[in-house]
Amino acid sequence: MTIRPAQPTDAQAIAEILHSLEEYPRYKNGTLPILEQKIAASLTTASDRTMLVAELESRVIGFILVHWFVPLLATLEGFISNLFVHANFSSLGAGTALLEAVKLEAKARGCSRVALNNWRDKKSYQTGFYEARGFTEKPLSARFVFSLEEGV
Ligand SMILES: CC(C)(COP(=O)(O)OP(=O)(O)OC[C@H]1O[C@@H](n2cnc3c(N)ncnc32)[C@H](O)[C@@H]1OP(=O)(O)O)[C@@H](O)C(=O)NCCC(=O)NCCS
């Protein structure tokens, strides 16, 4: 398994990963070319984000996107907005390897912590995927969203 920065040429493989996931009907129902187009547009080299892919025998099977930011009067943090592994390649260690790579980069950047949201109805939450990898659930914290678009 190789972990490397995502490149614009990975857009198709990343779209196929999202399309493979039964738990995420909004990606499953979307057409592949439209997904690919949107992903290609977001594969920038901006320094406030890192996108990595996991490659197995030259095939991209997973990816992770982390955003780096500094809250007022605090130190640098990482926020993982996406971690997805192709349904046909789960439990091969790609998700863990991508998380470990982000933890390493966070340490190298001097971050104080890395955080993410995990839906309680997803298998990843129910199997304790993040807890088993050193993340701690914060029961006192609630996520609030102000939607500016319907269904978002
Ligand atoms: C969760 C996910 C990233 C794990 O990646 P992975 O490469 O399969 O994980 P690893 O091989 O490193 O680790 C295996 C663990 O992943 C979890 N896992 C395996 N298959 C899974 C699946 N289809 N869905 C959710 N979690 C799964 C289990 O906790 C498993 O633990 P075990 O080895 O004790 O059984 C991947 O399954 C996935 O993309 N799921 C759908 C999207 C998702 O839930 N993303 C995280 C939401 S923030």
Domains of the chain (ranges plus CATH)? 2-133 (3.40.630.30)
Give the Cα separation of 107 and 77 in Å (integer): 10
Q: 118: which 2 tokens?
A: 């995990």
CA of 128 from ligand 1 middle (Å) equals 9
For the Cβ of 93 lying below 6 angstroms from any atom of ligand 1, the answer is yes
Its pTM surpasses 0.85: yes
Which ligand 1 atom is nearest residue 21's CA?
A: 41
Q: pLDDT for 103-135, tens place per residue?
A: 999 999 999 999 999 999 999 999 999 999 999
Cβ 87 vs Cβ 75: under 8 Å: no
Cβ 86 vs Cβ 130: under 8 Å: no
Which residue among 52, 102, 127 is best mutated to probe the pocket of ligand 1, counting the most ligand atoms within 8 A of its Cβ?
127
Give the Cα separation of 111 and 63 in Å (integer): 21
Measured between alpha carbons, how far is residue 40 from residues 6, 47, 78, 86 in Å? 10, 17, 22, 18
